[in-house]
């Protein structure tokens, strides 16, 4: 996983991994979740990837638009 840059220094996201049709997001609380083209869908997936790469807004985007709509929780 790649460390999330967290430009705002206040994100709950600590790391992410981007694949062709998914993004795995690791949160400060220790949980890691997979989001993919089925959940939450291609549009949200694309925006989440953009935020992850930019290092800004990923946690906010998830909490405002995606919430618990993830494909699965990873071990």
Per-residue pLDDT of the chain (75 residues; tens, 9 = 90+): 999 999 888 899 999 999 999 999 999 988 999 999 999 999 999 999 999 999 999 999 999 999 999 999 999
Q: Tell me, what's the pLDDT at 30?
A: 87
Structure tokens at 35: 């989001």
Q: Tell me, what's the pLDDT at 23?
A: 98
For 43, list phi and psi in degrees, rounded to 5.
-65, -50
Cis peptide before 40 (omega within 30 of 0): yes
Global confidence as pTM: 0.94
Q: Tell me, what's the pLDDT at 1?
A: 96
Name 49's Cβ contacts closer than 8 Å, sequence gap at least 6.
Answer: 18, 23
Q: Tell me, what's the pLDDT at 45?
A: 98
Name 66's Cβ contacts closer than 8 Å, sequence gap at least 6.
Answer: 35, 40, 44, 48
- β-strand partners of 33: 25, 73
């Amino acid at each position: 996983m790649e460390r999330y840059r967290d430009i705002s220094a206040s994100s709950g996201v600590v790391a992410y991994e981007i694949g062709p049709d998914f993004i795995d997001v690791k949160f400060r609380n220790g949980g890691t979740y997979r989001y993919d083209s089925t959940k939450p869908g291609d549009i949200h997936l694309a925006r989440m990837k953009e935020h992850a790469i930019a290092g800004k807004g990923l946690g906010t985007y998830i909490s405002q638009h995606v919430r618990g709509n993830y494909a699965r929780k990873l071990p």
